[in-house]
Chain A
Amino acid sequence: MEQLRRLLPGVAEVRKTLPFGLSALDSYLPDGGLACGALHEIVPEPRSIPATFGFIAAILARITFSTSSPREEGLYAGGNARGPLFLVLPTYGFREYGRLHGHGLRALGLDPAQLILVETSHRKETLWAIEEALHSGAPAAVAGVIDKLDLRTSQRLHLAATDCGLPLLLLRPAQNLEASAAATRWRVGTAEAARDRFGLITRPRWHLKLERCRNGRPGEWVVEYDHVAHRFSLAATLADPARTRGASESHEELLARTYCA
């Protein structure tokens, strides 16, 4: 039956993992990438909530834009055959950071037309919405924001994600995290962006730390994200002239680097 399905045109294959496309990262993860069908927790460092949202948006953009075969890309050029992306955001606790901006998501390579925002006002509603979205078979991926998650609830969410084979990304803004059943736990911090020779920002950079990984090893990187090619690359931390220059910069050099249109 599986062989027959593969022969028929237009059948979307069920994806097992989502590789980062960066061997330095993928080699640390089991299956060579983020497991689809598992719960992944992403924790922001202090003052890094925008960077964490950006990392999640980059992963979602990779899900939308990666196709397994060129023929399939041609058939579904207009839309996403795998369904929209559901983002469950609570309306409480995030006032100080403002709202997600659709054009900003676009600037990170995520098409806002593929995103459906679900707003909840209660933690129970957030959990319910995430489970309903996972069980419905409609989305391509589900992301949410939950602060408190005990072990049993995280196990339930992980099982729900495994049942339908979708990746579940949870942003956990809490500082003291309890044990959870997540397959991976990431910590995201800010990092200075890559600049070209005029001093303009070309790509954002984030400081990633893989804290917990089931059947994998923890690691720490500074990654750079290209929103046009939806690709992660490793920032050349040692050879980057901008970082080495920063310590002993003079005032005039700083002015010269500032670009005025």
Chain B
Amino acid sequence: MAGTGGPRIAALNEAAEAAGLASGEPLADARAKAGFLQVRAVDMAADDAALRRLTLWATRYTPTASPWDEENGADGFFLEVEGSAHLFGGEQSLIADLSTRLKKNFGLPVRLAVAATPGAAWALARFNAEPLCILPSSQEAAALAPLPVEALRLTPDICATLRRLGFKTVGALLDKPRAPFAARFSAKLLRRLDQALGRVDEPLVPVVPPPVYHSLRYLIEPIFTQQAIVAYARRLMGMLVHVLTRDDVGVRRLRLSLYNVDGTVETINIALTLPTRSVDHVARLIDLKLEALAAVCEAGFGFETIGLAITQTEPMPAQQMEITSAFAEEDKSEYCAVLIDKLRQRLGPQSVRRFEPVASHLPERAEMLKPATAEARAWPEPEQTTRPLLLLPQAEPAEVTALVPDGPPRRFSWRGETHEITGAEGPERIASEWWRHPLPFPLQAEEGQVGAPARDYYLVENSDGQRFWLYREGIYGRETAQVRWFVHGLFA
């Protein structure tokens, strides 16, 4: 967390508190007090997402759960339990249950308060002496009186001004005339006071859970065959298509769950390259996957329930069809994605790949194979250097005779065959990537030098017309006294 004077501590754990550090303290002071600190940068987006997920979990107690935003501290949430407290046996048992679950399942120590207004609940949760507290209604004024002014959810500068003026607790504000406050401070102070005491309503914005696309089918008689499973999966997908169309999304990942009669569940996960709403495509992929799993998956007594859940969706807006749709470019990429999905299902997820260039001089690192998508990234403009068509994964040593140690090769033998060289081109010097291997300073060849030696590449052709890519390792005289030659590639 940045502030005046450098980074400050935003949050600390128990060990840090025991060592005497406090939140809001400059990091440099903290480092001076405690010896070794593990520091991590604040990630506001991840914290917000985690709070949102926790609030979604808490909707098991009530449909109206609202996480706190920045203004309120962003480290808690409101739950409106008026309508649902009786289902858990009263407010007391509800908060006991909530606090034990949070502590046991998530490992989070909590401070809970139940009150008639959100403002009072916030204040009590933050500043009350006990961690759990239930406030009977119409006692807010008495309960809030001893709490400090920060309990009213005001900005730090308003609180500082209030303290300077002598108002240290909420009780000091309660019985004063309102007009001077309205004149001196913004309307926020009075509004917060009224919200806390219940004179003004404070509506909560409940968290909206993400939509779930799920269809389930209970079968009268258990099914055993792959054809039947695919037919039912097709029907389930058909049921979901109109919901997907309504939301303008397509499927990227889905899970087919087959519930066996004896209680076990088989799940099949399918991933797609492009979002799709096509029932045929999904059915074909499920068919291919079941074929691949046929040996592993046991039908046993049969499957009595089938469920299809869509676990990942992506926006897929409607597209306008062309009149010459058989030749349109968009359709080509769709066909391509469908084909890639089918190939991946049967051959494995890493089997369909494209070349991607990597910015590196070393030929073996200059490209990699990445899983293919329907779109391709363009390659940068080529340089004027020659590269072989086939590259050996490990450069193989070769016996080379050359007229001078740092001259071109004349004859070489590799894999048991000797080749007379009729023409050699080069050398092309490719040095090692010094930023990956630290070299000692000053840069001289020493004992135990770390860092690969430079390579001088030659394109050689033998009398038959076969063309090879050889390299000599090490700059003779400067890096090594022993020349070693390797074959790295084969040209067309």
Contacts and interface: CB of A to CB of B under 8 A. Distances in A.
A62 B367 CA distance: 23
B366 interface: yes
Contacts of A86: 339
B175 interface: no
A254 B324 CA distance: 61
9 contacts: A105-B355, A106-B382, A113-B377, A116-B352, A120-B347, A133-B343, A136-B339, A190-B466, A260-B407
B450 to A, nearest CB: 28
Contacts of B329: 76, 79, 81
Contacts of A47: 464, 466
Contacts of A117: 352-355, 369, 372
Given A49-B390, A190-B464, 6 more contacts: A113-B376, A114-B376, A117-B372, A192-B422, A260-B408, A260-B426
Given A50-B389, A255-B403, A257-B423, A192 B461 contact: yes
Nearest to B356: A102
B343 A118 contact: yes
Contacts, number: 206
A258 B351 contact: no
B492 A55 contact: yes
A192 B336 CA distance: 39
Interface residues of A, number: 74
A119 B390 contact: no
A50 B466 contact: yes
Nearest to A88: B343
Contact of B459 (A79, A106, A201): A201
A125 B351 CA distance: 11
Contacts of B407: 260
A206 B453 CA distance: 35
A251 B376 CA distance: 50
- Using C-beta atoms within 8 Å of the partner chain, give the interface range for chain B: 35 or more
B183 to A, nearest CB: 66
B116 interface: no
Contacts of B254: none
Where chain A touches its partner, the secondary structure class is mixed
A99 B390 contact: yes
Given A101-B390, A107-B387, A108-B389, A195 B369 contact: no
A28 interface: no
A243 to B, nearest CB: 10
A99 B391 contact: yes
B347 A101 contact: no
Nearest to B468: A50
A98 interface: yes
A105 to B, nearest CB: 7
Interface stretch (A6-14, A35-43, A147-155): A6-14
Contact of A120 (B351, B393, B490): B351
Interface in B445-464: 459, 461, 463-464
B378 A204 contact: no
A201 B366 CA distance: 23
Contact of A204 (B323, B347, B467): B467
Contacts of A106: 379, 382, 387
Contact of B355 (A5, A48, A113, A206): A113
A128 B342 CA distance: 11
B339 A138 contact: yes
A204 B343 contact: no
B324 A101 contact: no
A104 B355 CA distance: 12
B199 interface: no
A159 interface: no
Where chain B touches its partner, the secondary structure class is mixed
Contacts of A192: 422, 461, 463, 465
Contact of A129 (B347, B378, B490): B347
Q: Which 9 A-B pairs have the closest CB atoms?
A: A54-B492, A102-B355, A190-B465, A138-B335, A98-B392, A103-B387, A136-B339, A104-B389, A112-B355
Given A83-B332, A113-B376, A100 B389 contact: yes
Contact of A261 (B335, B379, B390, B426): B426
B428 to A, nearest CB: 8
A240 to B, nearest CB: 12
A191 B465 contact: yes
Contacts of B425: 199-201, 259
B282 interface: no
A57 B492 contact: yes
Contacts of A261: 426-428
Interface string A51-67: 10111010000000000
A137 interface: yes
Interface string B332-372: 10011011101100110011111101000001001101001
Contacts of A8: 323-324
B390 A125 contact: no
B63 interface: no
A18 interface: no
A97 interface: yes
A204 B489 contact: no
Contact of A205 (B342, B378, B465, B489): B465
B491 interface: yes
